[in-house]
Amino acid sequence: MKIEICILNPYPSKKSNDKLKKTALKVVGQNSSIFINENLVEDYFNYHHETTSISDLIKSVENNHHSDAFIVASYEDIGVETIRKITSKPILGIGEASFYTANIIANRFSIITNISQTHEAIKNNLVKYDLAHKCVSLKSIEVPILDMETMSKANIKKLEHEIQRTISEERPEAIIITSAGISDLTKTLSDKYGLAFIEGITAATTLIENLIKLDLKIKKFEIKPSRNLGIPI
């Protein structure tokens, strides 16, 4: 069974697209291929123009109907619900994939982002997915997106400082790092700190590949939060 997974990057650049593809290819099976939609407009720093991004994502899905599934490479899961309304094929956001992966293996998890600008959307999604009560902290190291793609020694040091502080203060059983640039370091970090480190592209690729094999269609219902939240909203 041949499988093609299309990754949609709302904030693309050649460097980020190459990194996403390389990261996804590490975990897919031999019969699966990764396609990066390269027709999206480069809009890295235009976080507030979400409507434009969603419109572009919808066009990309319509133009790539040959793909078996789609991954939205945004931890805010931009446009995921809207895209699910126009296709019966599996759709996953890397935020959603990371959160549910953490939920499976951990009673408590923390999230470390590159910039705090994404926090409001992530908090809202945690509530929507009914997982906010398991998230014990949401922090940022305030490193620009482009700088996170190639993790410099300075950025790794900054990240590890936040990891150590998070473990000391919050004692999570898993930590989600919101950058594909961390994918090469997840095993090293896990061995060093003795807990799971989750990166969204690998989590989403693994989950969606298995959804395709099961021949399942994704359908979501509106979820209202039913528990007290683990982080301030």
* pLDDT per residue as tens digits for the range 118-138: 999 999 999 999 999 999 999
Residue at 222 is within a domain: no
Find where tokens 């989600």 sit: 176
Judge if 54 and 127 occupy the same domain: no
Range of the domain at 44: 3-93+202-213
The answer to the question of residue 229 being in a domain is no
Tell me the three state secondary structure of residue 95. helix
Same domain, 116 and 182: yes
Q: Is residue 224 part of a domain?
A: no
For the chain, how many structural domains are there in total?
Answer: 2
3-state secondary structure of 8: strand
User: Which pLDDT does position 48 carry in this prediction?
Assistant: 44
Give Cα 229 to chain centroid, integer Å: 21
Q: DSSP per residue over 128-139, as a string? A: HTT-GGGEEEEE
Residue ranges for the chain with pLDDT beneath 50: 43-49, 51
Query: Does any domain span residue 189?
Result: yes
| Interval 63-94: pLDDT, tens | 888 999 999 999 999 999 999 888 888 999 99
Residues 136 and 86 grouped into a single domain: no
